[in-house]
Structure 1
Amino acid sequence: MEQTFTAQMSVFKGRWRLYVVLLNTTDAWPEFTFAGSLAVPTFTQRAEALSVLGFEPVPAAEWAWTEDSETHGDPASPVVLIAATRVRSREGWGA
C-alpha cells in the first residue's frame, strides 16, 4: 500500500511556506518557502513546490482551507489560514 502524507501551507514571517508533515520521525520536515508577495500561491506553484520537495498530490486530491487564530481563544486575534492536501512520495520518503 502506498504511503501518503499531509502537505500544509501557511504564512510564516510574511511569506507562504509549504511543508510535508512526517510523523514518527525526528527528521526535519521538507519545507519550501515561496518568494514574493503575500498572494496565495497558485495550484501550479504549489505542485511545483511539492515536486522540488520530492512529493506530488495523490490523484483527485484537493486543497482544503482551515481558518485558525493567531492567539488561541481570542476572537479579536488575527486570522491564520492553513491549507492542506494529501501527497505521496516521488523519491522514496517514508518507504
Structure 2
Amino acid sequence: MRTYSARLTNNFDGEWELFVVTDGLSLNWPEHSFERVGPVPTVQERADVLAALGFAVVDGAGWAWLECPAGPMDRVELLASVDVQRNDGAA
C-alpha cells in the first residue's frame, strides 16, 4: 500500500496545522488547522484529524519531531511527521 507523509507544524501565526503531502499540488493537500497556539495537539487529536481527512498512521510508525530554527534569536518552528496511508485502501 502506498504511504504518504503527514506533517504537523506551526503556521505563520504560530497555530498548529496538520497536512498530508500527496502527489498533487500543495494547494490540494488535505489539511486541518487546530486554530490554537498551544498546547501541542495530542496523538489522539492528530489521529482523529487524519481519519477525518481519510488517512491513518501506518502500523508501527511514530511521530518524529524536528526543530527548525530560523536564526539564533528567532522563534523556533517545530515540525512533526509520520507515515500514513489512505483509509479507503486506494493507492
Q: Which residue of 2 aligns with 1:62?
A: 62
TM-score by length of 1: 0.83
2-structure distance, mates of 1:92, 1:21: 17
Query: Aligned-residue CA RMSD in angstroms?
Result: 1.6
1-structure distance, mates of 2:49, 2:43: 10
Higher Cα Rg, which structure: 1
Q: Alignment partner for residue 77 of structure 1, among 70, 74, 77?
A: 74
Q: Return the letter of the residue paired with 2:75.
A: P
Q: Which residue of 1 aligns with 2:21?
A: 21
Runs of 4+ aligned residues of structure 1 deviating over 3 Å after TM superposition are: none
Listed as ranges, the gaps of 5+ residues in structure 2 are: none
Q: Return the letter of the residue paired with 1:50.
A: L
Identity within the alignment, %: 37
Matched residue count? 89
Q: Which residue of 2 aligns with 1:87?
A: 84
1-structure distance, mates of 2:74, 2:88: 40
